[in-house]
A and B are shown apart, each in its own frame.
Chain A
């Protein structure tokens, strides 16, 4: 993992949280969408908060795709776990939404669970580089199949 790759993972986290928050703010201004008036979803895109939120989610998508090109799906996803904490802070202090103690505990459990995965040795059994992965597959095939 190089510094640049950590920057990409940080981008995945921050852009996702910021994009979702701006979308939430914009959609609250637009009001609840009725299933009978689906065209209001299109109009929602004209809201500046929603528009900037979409731009940020595009930036998230670019970093996400880049990360997926050199890392496992189950490795990249935990990188967004810090985003939940970020979201709770943004929801509380910027959007002034009610975040109850139980929800805080829920967010803590989710982050803990995801951090558990990210910090575990499961990572080492998932080599990040395709050529290492290929070599690993060859090695386990040579060892007689491997588990599961």
Chain B
């Protein structure tokens, strides 16, 4: 039962993280290079642009959901299972999401890597 709870929490982490990652990545692309912006316009411009971005706000909500799912998962399972499993499944989910929603090119190399990652996760679960 504890096992089921752990994996349920991991699924919640993955879904919320993928949604959050895509929204945050989109927000930061809209903001632009933070380092360059900081040097040319100052820290308040950077903070204002980031905090005023609606994608950023939605991304934070999704990440908060992922964070609390992580707290649950960590109280039920080992960190060496929960953290790599959630992170690697998020990685595979993000490869799909980045291709569909961010229009990033995901080539054969990345799909092979996704397979390796999935195999690794299967071993972690064993």
Contacts and interface: CB of A to CB of B under 8 A. Distances in A.
Interface of A: 4, 17, 20-21, 23-24, 27-28, 30-33, 41, 44, 57, 61, 64-66, 68-70, 72-74, 77-78, 80, 83-84, 87-88, 90-92, 95, 97-99, 102-103, 105-114, 116-117, 120-122, 125-126, 129-130, 147-148
Contacts of A111: 120
B29 A109 contact: no
Contact of A68 (B25, B68, B71, B116): B25
Given A69-B32, A103-B124, A87 B71 contact: no
A98 B79 CA distance: 10
B41 interface: no
A113 B122 CA distance: 14
Interface of B: 2, 21-22, 24-25, 28-29, 31-35, 50, 63, 67-68, 70-72, 74-76, 78-84, 87-88, 90-91, 94-95, 98, 102, 104-107, 109-110, 112-117, 119-124, 126
B91 A77 contact: yes
Contacts of A107: 80, 84, 120, 124
Contacts of A87: 79-80, 83-84
A27 to B, nearest CB: 5
Given A69-B31, A73-B94, 6 more contacts: A24-B79, A24-B82, A68-B24, A106-B120, A113-B120, A116-B116
Binding site secondary structure of chain A: helix
Nearest to A89: B80
Contacts of B2: 32
A108 to B, nearest CB: 7
A36 to B, nearest CB: 13
A84 B87 contact: yes
14 contacts: A23-B71, A66-B35, A69-B29, A70-B33, A73-B22, A73-B104, A87-B80, A95-B79, A105-B120, A106-B124, A110-B88, A110-B124, A113-B114, A130-B33
B98 A91 contact: no
A125 B116 contact: no
B114 to A, nearest CB: 7
B28 A65 contact: yes
Contacts of A116: 109, 112-113, 116
Contacts of A41: 68, 71-72
